[in-house]
Structure 1
């Protein structure tokens, strides 16, 4: 009986610890996502890239290599399953924003501030 209570107590303590850690992590992620979304509403003179293909990361690297464009924010709008962040090398991630959505529906470009953007680039996909 004592052994059973020790086992159940240990499992309970492990479950509580796991729950607290996951709650803290989720809260931090939620805060970061809200800040990114809030910043997206405040962008002006940014670049909006609609769509994604194999050479899109090269385009972003070239845009950020230009000294005049280095401080310009870039919003990428595409129907991502996962954001392609590991593909980027030499890119300033603080200037990149990913927005998951279908850019052919007018509400999506409006939500990323297409009217306040300095440039919009449409990338062709494989189809």
Structure 2
């Protein structure tokens, strides 16, 4: 965990793939109303550390009355489409991390588990019971 992040206080976090393909974190800092993208880097001596990649101002992406800033909960990350699912007390949002475009998905006054998925493998069989391989269904 990045020590700079721990020092900030209240936050919500999601493990994700970093922009370079390595290990990354998507963190929402509740008091600052910003999100940070962190990535794990290893130096030439093999010492690993967390490096801040990008900071995103959530109040510019999620339409809210600034006087009534509500906590933002990170629900999940969809790697293939590079989107993160967020919830404020009443609305679910999806934010595309490359374009920084947000989309209101639906309203709900309660939080529940959210597991974004993008593709499913289905086994293909023939009459003899053998497997010819797997088919890929993508959510496009």
TM-score, normalising length: structure 2: 0.21
Task: Select the structure of larger CA radius of gyration.
Answer: 1
The structure where strand makes up a greater share of residues is 2
The structure where helix makes up a greater share of residues is 1
